[in-house]
A and B are shown apart, each in its own frame.
Chain A
């Protein structure tokens, strides 16, 4: 599963890392600077919880990885 963080939207609430520390990391300032990232296998549920918790909706997860390109 891939995801991306819109750094322009991130306001440093830190909810992503609070709920899913295995997926998200925030800087000393509380901001998520991960940009485009890969979710560790098995951590998809945690990634969703962390992404959904963001009050700024700054994290988007790509749920469609299994779509094959013909």
Chain B
């Protein structure tokens, strides 16, 4: 693998602690590497340029599909690329498989059938006024201050509030949900060294969701469109879902939706904070917001998931063997120059709009309609009240690549 010196140098300069050669950077690739937290994108570009299928020896070893075409291929072949393990390294966080993300085949198909109507555009439309109100309230609280820290004051709470709205859980539970989730991510999971310890760490949130279901059952589901009410009325494979199955699906929805949407919101607003001409565009042509959201979601990778190979398969001269793990980086596929001309350029009139940030194939993101609506509403409501803003002088976001890519902070001042 040869790499132009200038590319390698540029890549190295952005990550001072990165291994010194391309080959080593590939071999040591993992979402958890300290030298990848700040800026994995140029190093991914370099890896993609070097090979379509890279091999990392980290966390027991796994393959990395670096190109859009191959990521889509794997996504569309779930019999070969099983979701039995979706994290690398794999951790069993519940006694049972995570619903639906860790399922395959018929079981998966049936759960998707049960769950898909719970998150579809009709439901999102129904809850949009409440989501809009939650965004407006948060912005009102912020707008008088002249400045804010966007991640903690807006991007963290809005997806969580939307989650509670969609699931019919009272807003009084917001802080509890956030506290449990923060603890789980920052301490519970990192300090859990065995599956048993992880399950203990999950207990508070497990009980949170189980209690929410019990409360709803008591309060009644008549005429209600929220997810828990619908789950209590729906069938899976001709029978009622069990309490454990419902809690499982709720927990997975939470894990899949909160941090990813926070990341997307943070990086969208970071881009906007650096581009007053786009702030202006949003104000003067709010009809462009869907195009803007689509292109900014493409431009800033957020999400990766894993797969487990079920049978030997050859691709690009490489044999992926049964039992191997594969990283599918949905977000990075959006920066593939084979598909998106000048991928690092933001272009709202871009010809190529077929991006895979929300995945494709049977496991495509169930929450994609909700996520896009949240970001759209955020753009609409924010720019109505705070049309001009920029990064606070002397500040820079601290970035992370795991568990999904995003920002820890975004300090803004309003003009």
Inside 8 A of B358's CB, which chain A residues have their CB? 13
Contact of A21 among B116, B290, B368, B372 (CB under 8 A): B290
- Beta-carbon contacts under 8 Å, B316-355 to A: 351-355
Residues A11 and B121 in contact, CB atoms below 8 Å apart: no
B190 at the interface (CB under 8 A from A): no
B194 at the interface (CB under 8 A from A): no
Inside 8 A of B372's CB, which chain A residues have their CB? 18
- Beta-carbon contacts under 8 Å, B357-372 to A: 358, 360, 364, 368-369, 372
B120 at the interface (CB under 8 A from A): yes
Q: Which of A27, A28, A57 has the most CB of B within 10 A?
A: A28
Residues A19 and B121 in contact, CB atoms below 8 Å apart: no
Residues B364 and A19 in contact, CB atoms below 8 Å apart: no
Inside 8 A of A57's CB, which chain B residues have their CB? 354
* Total count of chain B residues near the partner, CB < 8 A: 21
Given contacts A12-B116, A55-B360, A55-B364, contact A28 B122 (CB under 8 A): yes
Inside 8 A of B120's CB, which chain A residues have their CB? 12, 28-30
Contact of A13 among B122, B351, B352, B368 (CB under 8 A): B368
Contact of B353 among A26, A49, A56 (CB under 8 A): A49
Residues A53 and B364 in contact, CB atoms below 8 Å apart: no
A19 to B121, CA, bound (A): 15
Residues B354 and A52 in contact, CB atoms below 8 Å apart: yes
User: Measured between C-beta atoms, what is the minimum distance from B100 to chain A in Å?
Assistant: 15
B195 at the interface (CB under 8 A from A): no
- Beta-carbon contacts under 8 Å, B204-239 to A: none
Residues A54 and B369 in contact, CB atoms below 8 Å apart: no
A29 to B117, CA, bound (A): 6
B356 at the interface (CB under 8 A from A): yes
B24 at the interface (CB under 8 A from A): no
Given contacts A18-B372, A30-B369, contact A55 B354 (CB under 8 A): yes
A15 at the interface (CB under 8 A from B): yes
- Beta-carbon contacts under 8 Å, A28-70 to B: 28-30, 48-50, 52-57
B57 at the interface (CB under 8 A from A): no
Residues B360 and A53 in contact, CB atoms below 8 Å apart: no
Inside 8 A of B352's CB, which chain A residues have their CB? 52
Inside 8 A of B125's CB, which chain A residues have their CB? 28
B147 at the interface (CB under 8 A from A): no
- Beta-carbon contacts under 8 Å, B103-155 to A: 116-117, 120-122, 125
Residues A19 and B294 in contact, CB atoms below 8 Å apart: yes
Given contacts A12-B116, A12-B120, A30-B369, contact A54 B290 (CB under 8 A): no
B291 at the interface (CB under 8 A from A): yes
Contact of A19 among B116, B290, B368 (CB under 8 A): B290
A32 to B125, CA, bound (A): 16
Residues B353 and A14 in contact, CB atoms below 8 Å apart: no
User: Measured between C-beta atoms, what is the minimum distance from B410 to chain A in Å?
Assistant: 25
Inside 8 A of A15's CB, which chain B residues have their CB? 294, 353
- Beta-carbon contacts under 8 Å, B265-319 to A: 290-291, 294
User: Measured between C-beta atoms, what is the minimum distance from B268 to chain A in Å?
Assistant: 15
A26 to B368, CA, bound (A): 14
Of all chain A residues, which has the CB nearest B362? A11
Residues A29 and B121 in contact, CB atoms below 8 Å apart: yes
A27 to B369, CA, bound (A): 13
Interface residues of A (CB under 8 A from B): 11-15, 18-19, 21, 26-30, 48-50, 52-57
Interface residues of B (CB under 8 A from A): 116-117, 120-122, 125, 290-291, 294, 351-356, 358, 360, 364, 368-369, 372
Please give 13 more A-B residue pairs, beta carbons under 8 A apart, in addition to A12-B116, A15-B353, A55-B356: A11-B364, A12-B120, A13-B368, A14-B368, A15-B294, A28-B125, A29-B120, A30-B120, A52-B351, A53-B294, A53-B354, A53-B355, A55-B360
Can you name 27 A-B residue pairings with CB atoms under 8 Å? Answer: A12-B120, A13-B358, A13-B364, A13-B368, A14-B369, A15-B294, A18-B290, A18-B294, A19-B290, A19-B291, A19-B294, A21-B290, A26-B121, A27-B121, A28-B121, A28-B122, A29-B120, A29-B121, A30-B369, A48-B351, A50-B353, A52-B353, A53-B353, A53-B354, A54-B354, A55-B360, A57-B354
